[in-house]
Amino acid sequence: MLKARTVRKPTNVEEKSSFDEHTFGLEYPHRLNFYDRPPAFDVTLEEFETAALDRLRVLAEIESSAVRGRSWEETKSVTGEHCNKYLPLHSSTAKYIDRDAERRKDILGHFVLRLAFSRSDELRQRFLKAELTLFKVRYDDSDMGEREAFSESRNFNWVKVDDEEKKAIRSQLFSVYSGPKATREALFKQETYLKVRWTRVPDLVSHRKVFLKGGWAYVPSREQSSIIFQEFESHLEQALLLTAKSLPRLDEDTRLDPILTNLSKGFLAGVASGWNDDQTDKDHITADMIDSLSKHFPLCMQHLHFKLTKDRHLPHFGRLQYGLFLKVLGLPIDEAIAFWRRSFSKITDDEFNKKYKYNIRHSYGLEGRKANYSALSCSQILIPSNKDSNWVCPYKHFAHENLSTALAARYQLAGTDLSEVMATVKAGHPHVACTRVFEITHAAQGIKKGEGIGGGESVTHPNQYAAVSIELEKASSGTKTEAMVVD
Amino acid sequence: MDATAMPTFYRRIYPYKSIFLWLNHEHNPTKLFTHREFAFTLPGDVYLRYQSFANAEEFKKQLCSMTPTRFEIGPVYSGRPRDRKTLRPSAFVPVQRELVFDIDMTDYDNIRTCCSGAAICKRCWGFIAAAVKVLDKAIRDQFGYQHLLWVYSGRRGIHLWISDQEAVDLTDDQRKAIVNYLTVVATSKEASKHLNVRSNGALPSLLSNALLDLGTIFDSLILKDQDLFAGEQAWLALLELLPQSMRGTLEAKWSSGEKNSSAKWDDVKGVINGLKSQSPAAFNTALAAMEDIVISYTYPRLDAEVSKHRNHLLKAPFCVHPGTGRVCVPVDPSEVDMFDPAAVPTIGQLLQELDTIREGSSELPQEHHNDWEKTSLKPYVDMLDKHCLRLVEEARHARRGAPGKYLTVLFGRPY
């Protein structure tokens, strides 16, 4: 058993232990949560890990929604589905469900990931963004009563605008309503306004949705979610910084560190639900196998492979993108050196050792700062963190004619399939196009349209594409051999 | 310019103390000054970034020894800029910076008739003056900031530095928000000519409040002074902005004869008034179009990129503009109409003034540190000093009053 953290017992548990209609007799009276209090209950290591993994699945899907440019409605429905699957959280009025247990898991998962993701600035930013979206989705899902109860439960530091003041600036507030005069009157009369410093609602200010006077923003109650979201964001941002500062003390617990490290690694690689680039249980491949395996590669890697074979050379970013992909695919360092040496057939041993060997070893974490680099995920390829990075996603970076030639050459795509993929590309959805290509090229193994790389998931990582493709081939050849035996 | 001019300028004229106090908000050096980036442009276009100084004396010493042709002021970082290389990247990030705005005459090129490009005359200053008045009022009234310093950029633009504590602390996102709020006229070439700022047909309060001022400016600046719609191309552009139904009548009136802009604008008003009785809906649309025209010709045109990020560098006040030799002096927004860019002292003029003093006085030529007092730069330095006084006063107040409940309500940070 493990005590997640010793903190003083939340006071309101004692105060509100008897049933009252606002809390529904719950230990955690609100479905929405700002995560002010760390979990103060005992959990097993397994619970610790599952709660975090399940939440990570949801957050990863949110990230991939953002990368794929899904609309808010789409993001909401996809996230909602994932939440129901991994992280159900029912409203306080729900019956026959252990709402407190759900909420405990929600809180536990959040705090475990907070520990895992406070270690670097990049992780903090991404975690913050994903958590904010999750909060927004849940807020959107909640009914009015629940929202009100929640906003009453916290001090958001807003000032209610009294009738006198409302009247005084009536003409300024009035202009945002539309429709006939009578309806506008009625709407205005009903509306209550909250006053906050403008800096707390930058998005409303940016779109001129609020009236400003002396630095105060007059926020109509229907926009108050903006204040709540902003508060959630700045609150969590502060909390993450605090956690980051206290992290060194935590490292003493050897049981937690590996779990936390794995969690943050998985998130960094942009791994969506379930896919894991942990190579320990994977078959190693050899330099000779790469050529025959290349039919399983997504177009980016096929392109790099083709280019390497043709030019007997790849530029720096190409080497890195392809090299890391091969590493994660299971190519050990000595095989990698053999592979690259053989591929760069135009240069001498001496030049190879001088110019390239170090970089290959570096990417395996054997030189320099000895970092174990993970392969680039689609999001890292599409949105490089450094603008000088020159990663290639054919669906995004190729000219349309070249892409369509490449698709025909590498995957023998033609006719309606080809035009469908090209249409998706032109609409600016490289992920969707890549996923569709996977579906088309694996139709023989029974992959249908919309199924993606399994369970409707889209491609989010070149290695995931290749791994699933290889799995599928194994599975289908497996059934074939079995069938033969039966024969 | 003679080679000894810059060293003399920095040694004898540049008002270090005032600039120090303006950036620092109090007399003892704080992070606002010591962690501040200065960037020097040295002769031969050598650009030297990440300079920082412990105090005003060091600041002066460095300027005198390096004599940059100009220098810029950047953000306050979480570490000393000159120690940058010894800090972890995460320990060296911009944290504070005055909120700055830049208005440049180039953005007005398509609507000024008197000059173009780098040239500027007293008449085009009218555009800048109009922008200053409108923006100054909007920021004071709507955002509640009080410590606004307008600085002439030395040639054809003006900078605004806002030093209120809240403004200095703004994040980049908040800066983007205020810029988006204040940006009405898109200055890029691809942007549509039509304004698109109305929601449900109504102007945002930002504009409905400013409309009266903009109308006056339109009348005196666009119609009378610039006589913008005299040329055929210009009045055709004006027609584009009016409802289709009105264009025919007006084109017929204007294509023959030489009407001045005021007369043409009267024609527009006449046609619109005619609509009043015929069709109230068309009248309202036309009226809105007319308001939009006034706004798009007179509303301040901001160089948005300058304001959006804390780590943008902006030329320091009292620098010498390398092209014109004029000093970047503060401008009083209430008297911006009287401001004449051609009357701003140049470095040559200032040095000459120093020489005359020396000749006139019987004392031995002595090096004084605040020699600007004896030159025509004095009123401008006095203006900055007065500005600093208010800043120092407020900083003192903030330190004395404990950041208790009031600030919590103000900034919503209960921690």
pLDDT at B363 over 60: no
**Nearest CA to A274 among A51, A54, A48, A435?**
A54
**DSSP 8-state code for residue B277:** H
Cα atoms found within 13 Å of the Cα of residue A116, Cβ hemisphere only: 27
Q: What's the gap in Å between the CA of B396 and the closest CA on chain A?
A: 21
Q: Which has more pLDDT, A273 or A133?
A: A133
Q: What is the pLDDT, as a whole number, of residue B53?
A: 96
Q: Which two tokens stand for residue A67?
A: 């990368």
Cross-chain residue pair B144–A216, CB shorter than 8 Å: yes
- Name residue A277's amino acid: D
Tokens 């060293």: give the residue: B7
Q: What is the pLDDT, as a whole number, of residue B245?
A: 85
CA dihedral (A299, A305, A308, A309) positive or negative: negative
Distance CA A213, CA A195 (A): 10
CA dihedral (A152, A156, A160, A161) positive or negative: negative
Distance CA B103, CA B122 (A): 16
> Chain B partners of A196 at a C-beta cutoff of 8 Å?
412
| Whether B174 contacts chain A with CB within 8 A | yes
Taking residues B155-178, what's their average pLDDT?
94
Taking CA A263 as the corner, what is the angle to CA A261 and CA A266, rounded to the nearest 5 degrees?
Answer: 105
Cβ atoms of A343 and A304 within 8 Å: the answer is no
Q: What is the pLDDT, as a whole number, of residue A13?
A: 39
Q: How confident is the model at residue B294 (pLDDT cuts 50, 70, 90)?
A: very high
Q: What is the pLDDT, as a whole number, of residue A146?
A: 86
Q: How confident is the model at residue A460 (pLDDT cuts 50, 70, 90)?
A: confident
| Whether A198 contacts chain B with CB within 8 A | yes
Distance CA A269, CA A176 (A): 45
Q: How confident is the model at residue B361 (pLDDT cuts 50, 70, 90)?
A: low
Cβ atoms of A439 and A449 within 8 Å: the answer is yes
| Whether A24 contacts chain B with CB within 8 A | no
Q: Which of A371-380, A469-478, B200-209, B237-246 has the highest mean pLDDT?
A: B237-246
How many Cβ pairs closer than 8 A exist between chain A and B?
A: 77
Cross-chain residue pair B174–A234, CB shorter than 8 Å: no
Considering only residues 184 to 203 of chain B, which have any Cβ-Cβ distance to chain A shorter than 8 Å? Answer: 197, 199-203
Q: What's the gap in Å between the CA of A187 and the closest CA on chain B?
A: 15
Helix axes A121-141, A224-250, angle to 10 degrees: 140
Distance CA B142, CA B292 (A): 21
CA A127 to chain centre: 8
| Whether B177 contacts chain A with CB within 8 A | yes
The DSSP-derived string for A200-256 is: G-HHHHHTT-SEEETTEEEEEGGGHHHHHHHHHHHHHHHHHHHHHHHHHHHTT-TTH
| Whether B393 contacts chain A with CB within 8 A | no
| Whether A403 contacts chain B with CB within 8 A | no
Q: What is the mean pLDDT of chain A?
A: 80
B317 φ/ψ angles, rounded to the nearest 5 degrees: -60, 150
> Chain A partners of B407 at a C-beta cutoff of 8 Å?
none
Distance CA B31, CA B16 (A): 17
Q: Which two tokens stand for residue B52?
A: 């920082």
Question: B282: Cβ–Cβ under 8 A, 6 or more apart, which residues?
Answer: B243, B245, B275
Taking residues B1-18, what's their average pLDDT?
86
The DSSP-derived string for B370-407 is: -GGGGSTTHHHHHHHHHHHHHHHHHHHHHHHS-S-HHH
Cα atoms found within 13 Å of the Cα of residue A111, Cβ hemisphere only: 21
Q: Which residues of A201-224 are buried (b: 16+ CB within 10 A; e: fewer)?
A: bbbbbbebbbbbbebbbbbbeebb
Cross-chain residue pair B410–A203, CB shorter than 8 Å: no
Cross-chain residue pair B141–A213, CB shorter than 8 Å: yes
Taking residues B28-43, what's their average pLDDT?
94
> Which of A278-292, B253-267, B389-403 shows the lowest mean pLDDT across its residues?
A278-292
Question: Of B143, B412, B415, which is closest to A215 when you measure between CB atoms?
Answer: B143
Tokens 């190579």: give the residue: A279
Chain segment A90-104, per-residue pLDDT in tens: 887 777 778 888 899
Work out whether strand A216-220 and strand A211-213 pair parallel, antiparallel, or are unpaired: antiparallel
Q: Which two tokens stand for residue B204?
A: 């945002």
Radius of gyration of chain B (CA): 25
What residue of A is the nearest CA neighbor of B204?
A208
Distance CA A285, CA A336 (A): 10
Q: Which two tokens stand for residue B57?
A: 């004396």
CA A341 to chain centre: 37
* Cross-strand bridge partners of residue B152: B158
* Cross-strand bridge partners of residue B79: none
Tokens 């110019």: give the residue: A355
Q: Which of A40-49, A135-144, B115-124 has the highest mean pLDDT?
A: A135-144
Cross-chain residue pair B144–A215, CB shorter than 8 Å: yes
| Whether B397 contacts chain A with CB within 8 A | no
Question: B129: Cβ–Cβ under 8 A, 6 or more apart, which residues?
Answer: B336, B337, B339
Taking residues B89-113, what's their average pLDDT?
88
Distances (CA, A) of B156 to A34, B56, B292: 51, 30, 26
* Cross-strand bridge partners of residue B76: B36, B96
Interface test with A, best of B205, B299, B406 (most A CBs within 10 A): B205
> Chain B partners of A205 at a C-beta cutoff of 8 Å?
177-178, 180-181
Work out whether strand B70-77 and strand B330-331 pair parallel, antiparallel, or are unpaired: unpaired
Q: What's the gap in Å between the CA of B211 and the closest CA on chain A?
A: 14
Cross-chain residue pair B205–A211, CB shorter than 8 Å: yes
Q: How confident is the model at residue A245 (pLDDT cuts 50, 70, 90)?
A: confident
pLDDT at B75 over 60: yes
First to last CA, chain A: 54
Cβ atoms of A113 and A55 within 8 Å: the answer is yes
| Whether B47 contacts chain A with CB within 8 A | no
Q: What is the mean pLDDT of chain B?
A: 87
pLDDT at A446 over 90: no
Q: Which two tokens stand for residue B232?
A: 């055929």
Chain segment A51-82, per-residue pLDDT in tens: 888 898 888 888 777 766 678 888 898 888 88
Q: What is the pLDDT, as a whole number, of residue A384?
A: 74
**Nearest CA to B197 among A176, A225, A202, A203?**
A176
Chain segment B186-237, per-residue pLDDT in tens: 765 544 567 777 776 778 888 888 888 899 999 998 998 888 888 888 888 8
| Whether B141 contacts chain A with CB within 8 A | yes
Question: Of B144, B181, B415, which is closest to A238 when you measure between CB atoms?
Answer: B415
Chain segment A286-327, per-residue pLDDT in tens: 888 888 888 899 999 999 999 998 888 898 889 989 999 998
Cβ atoms of B133 and B160 within 8 Å: the answer is no
Cβ atoms < 10 Å from Cβ of B366: 8
> Chain A partners of B197 at a C-beta cutoff of 8 Å?
208
> Chain B partners of A208 at a C-beta cutoff of 8 Å?
181, 197, 199, 204, 206
Radius of gyration of chain A (CA): 27
Interface test with B, best of A212, A227, A238, A385 (most B CBs within 10 A): A212
Q: How confident is the model at residue A1 (pLDDT cuts 50, 70, 90)?
A: very low
Cross-chain residue pair B170–A212, CB shorter than 8 Å: no
Distances (CA, A) of A20 to A15, A94, A101: 11, 16, 19
The DSSP-derived string for A124-141 is: HHHHHHHHHHHHHHHHHH
Cross-chain residue pair B166–A215, CB shorter than 8 Å: yes
Cβ atoms of B410 and A159 within 8 Å: the answer is no
Q: What's the gap in Å between the CA of B316 and the closest CA on chain A?
A: 27
Question: Of A156, A178, A199, which is closest to B166 when you measure between CB atoms?
Answer: A199
Query: Which residues of B are identified as catalytic?
Result: 37, 102, 104
Considering only residues 85 to 124 of chain A, which have any Cβ-Cβ distance to chain B shorter than 8 Å? Answer: 121
Q: Which two tokens stand for residue A230?
A: 């902003």
**DSSP 8-state code for residue B320:** B
Q: What is the pLDDT, as a whole number, of residue A160?
A: 86
Distance CA B253, CA B246 (A): 11
**DSSP 8-state code for residue B92:** -
pLDDT at A271 over 50: no
Taking residues B122-148, what's their average pLDDT?
92
- Work out the percent of chain A whose per-residue pLDDT is above 90: 13
CA dihedral (B334, B337, B338, B344) positive or negative: positive
- Work out the percent of chain A whose per-residue pLDDT is above 70: 85
Please tell me whether A83 is known to bind a ligand: no
Q: What is the pLDDT, as a whole number, of residue A11?
A: 40
What residue of A is the nearest CA neighbor of B182?
A206
Q: What's the gap in Å between the CA of A6 and the closest CA on chain B?
A: 21
Q: What's the gap in Å between the CA of A158 and the closest CA on chain B?
A: 7
> Chain B partners of A206 at a C-beta cutoff of 8 Å?
176-177, 180-181
Q: What's the gap in Å between the CA of A355 and the closest CA on chain B?
A: 28
Distance CA B396, CA B401 (A): 9
Chain segment B152-163, per-residue pLDDT in tens: 999 889 999 999
